[in-house]
Amino acid sequence: MTQISLPRKLRVLIADDVQETRRNTRLMIAALDYAEVVAIASNGRQAVEMTEEQHPDIVILDVNMPEMDGLTAYKNIIKVHPDTGGIIISAEQNPIVAKAAASIGIQEFLVKPFFVDEMDAAIKRVSQRLRENRQKRALTKPKDENSEAYLEMLANEYMKEGRTDDAAVQIFERLAANPKSALRWLETLAMLYAIRREWGKLTSLTARLERETKDQKA
């Protein structure tokens, strides 16, 4: 089957407890034709939860937020989604915070007030690093291509790339073959079946999703 080409923009999450900053940052990103805001959070805990739901490519996190600060939020995010780029924003240029951010993999640090050209440059640099990291991983694939870790690595990459081709479906189907497969893999596979109009497979998978969702709630 021919691969279906879908519009692909960088998916961005914004997290800041100040409404004006959230609004201004969203407007800046709206001016960039290669990126889109997929989630907006008012604290670090929400940012972690929304990342699980929306799978952004890049998260923009304020340092000081209620419930969970930006650095702690990023640590939690990359535990599950290690291929997520990070930009930290702060009201002050603090070298200690900048060093702490760099130590956990934060790629960029912007001081408020920042402008659209600064945000544009920061997102492009983070995006370039993400591409380079993916290319490096592709050159150092695990020996065991049937391992769960390898399949999950490919699945995360395919989700980031928005792939719906046969190769992507096969990876998600292999993950779904595990009776203990995570719900997010099953949900993604269901979405792929819907995009590809494979209704028979979708019906069967939907029934499984309903059963497993009920079991988790029980």
Instruction: Let me know whether 166 and 86 are in one domain.
Output: no
**Could you tell me if 137 and 120 are in contact, meaning their C-beta atoms sit under 8 angstroms apart?**
no
Indicate whether 105 belongs to any domain.
Answer: yes
pLDDT of residue 1: 33
Instruction: Let me know whether 46 and 116 are in one domain.
Output: yes
Q: Is the pTM of this model over 0.75?
A: no
DSSP classification of residue 2: P
Torsion (CA) 19, 87, 131, 164 in degrees, nearest 10:
-30
Instruction: Let me know whether 37 and 116 are in one domain.
Output: yes
Does residue 75 register a pLDDT over 50?
Answer: yes
Per-residue pLDDT band for 29 (boundaries 50, 70, 90) equals: very high
Instruction: Let me know whether 177 and 96 are in one domain.
Output: no
- Domain boundary (107, 135, 163) is at 135
Indicate whether 3 belongs to any domain.
Answer: no
Nearest to 3 by CA among 171, 200, 167, 161: 167
Instruction: Let me know whether 118 and 20 are in one domain.
Output: yes
Alpha-carbon distance of 18 to 155, in angstroms, equals 35
Nearest to 13 by CA among 49, 42, 41: 41
Instruction: Let me know whether 45 and 17 are in one domain.
Output: yes
pLDDT of residue 132: 83
Question: What mean pLDDT comes out for the span 54-75?
Answer: 95
Per the DSSP assignment, residues forming a β-bridge with 87 are 60, 108
Instruction: Let me know whether 15 and 117 are in one domain.
Output: yes
Alpha-carbon distance of 115 to 13, in angstroms, equals 17
pLDDT of residue 161: 80
Q: Which domain holds residue 205?
A: 146-217
Per-residue pLDDT band for 139 (boundaries 50, 70, 90) equals: low
Give me the chain's average pLDDT, please: 88
**Residue recorded with tokens 């009776």:** 179
Give the domain CATH number at 36: 3.40.50.2300
- Domain boundary (135, 169, 185) is at 135
Per-residue pLDDT band for 2 (boundaries 50, 70, 90) equals: very low
Determine the 3-state secondary structure of 109 from DSSP.
strand
Instruction: Let me know whether 21 and 128 are in one domain.
Output: yes
Instruction: Let me know whether 82 and 175 are in one domain.
Output: no
Instruction: Let me know whether 73 and 127 are in one domain.
Output: yes
- Most confident among 59-63, 147-151, 213-217 (mean pLDDT): 59-63
Q: What is the DSSP string of 130-185?
A: HHHHHHHHHHT--S-TTSHHHHHHHHHHHHHHT--SHHHHHHHHHHHTSTT--HHH
Does residue 192 register a pLDDT over 70?
Answer: yes
- Domain boundary (108, 135, 162) is at 135
Indicate whether 63 belongs to any domain.
Answer: yes
What percent of the chain stands above pLDDT 70? 90
- Give the H or E element holding residue 96: helix 95-103
Least trusted range by pLDDT, from 58-62, 84-88, 114-118, 180-184: 180-184
What percent of the chain stands above pLDDT 90? 63
For residue 95, whether the previous peptide bond is cis, meaning omega lies within 30 degrees of 0, is no
Does residue 3 register a pLDDT over 90?
Answer: no
Give the domain CATH number at 191: 1.25.40
**Counted domains in the chain:** 2
